[in-house]
Structure 1
């Protein structure tokens, strides 16, 4: 079985942080450059991971401010 793509691994990591409460609703995600440095990935990988999480309703981007954990119920 092929390894999971890096963007999927990063999305899983952020999803776990949200599920565990390490990242709470309203919290800002680290910047693209911080995530790149922490996980050793490209900006494109970070963008793809965030896009997937946005599609799932877990995070939302606010133009000019960053990406934040969505204000939603525990059903995530």
Structure 2
């Protein structure tokens, strides 16, 4: 095999590699690593279901306990 054919073969390999780079980087690149890490973290999460009435009452208690900037209406002149 002569050197022009080797150069053409190398150029062909480079063209194919450049054309497939987005797909390869999606599997092997830094973004893919971040995506895999995020999927692993999300897999460890779980949904905790509670009684809705308890939650509603808890929110009402928290809202009633918040300080306000307005004076009560009965104390206004």
TM-score bin (small chain): under 0.3
Which structure shows the bigger proportion of residues in helix conformation?
2
Instruction: Give the alignment's TM-score, normalised by structure 1.
Output: 0.24
Which structure shows the bigger proportion of residues in strand conformation?
1
Q: Which has the higher contact order (CA 8 A, sep 6+)?
A: 1
Highest CA radius of gyration, 1 or 2? 2
Instruction: Give the alignment's TM-score, normalised by structure 2.
Output: 0.24
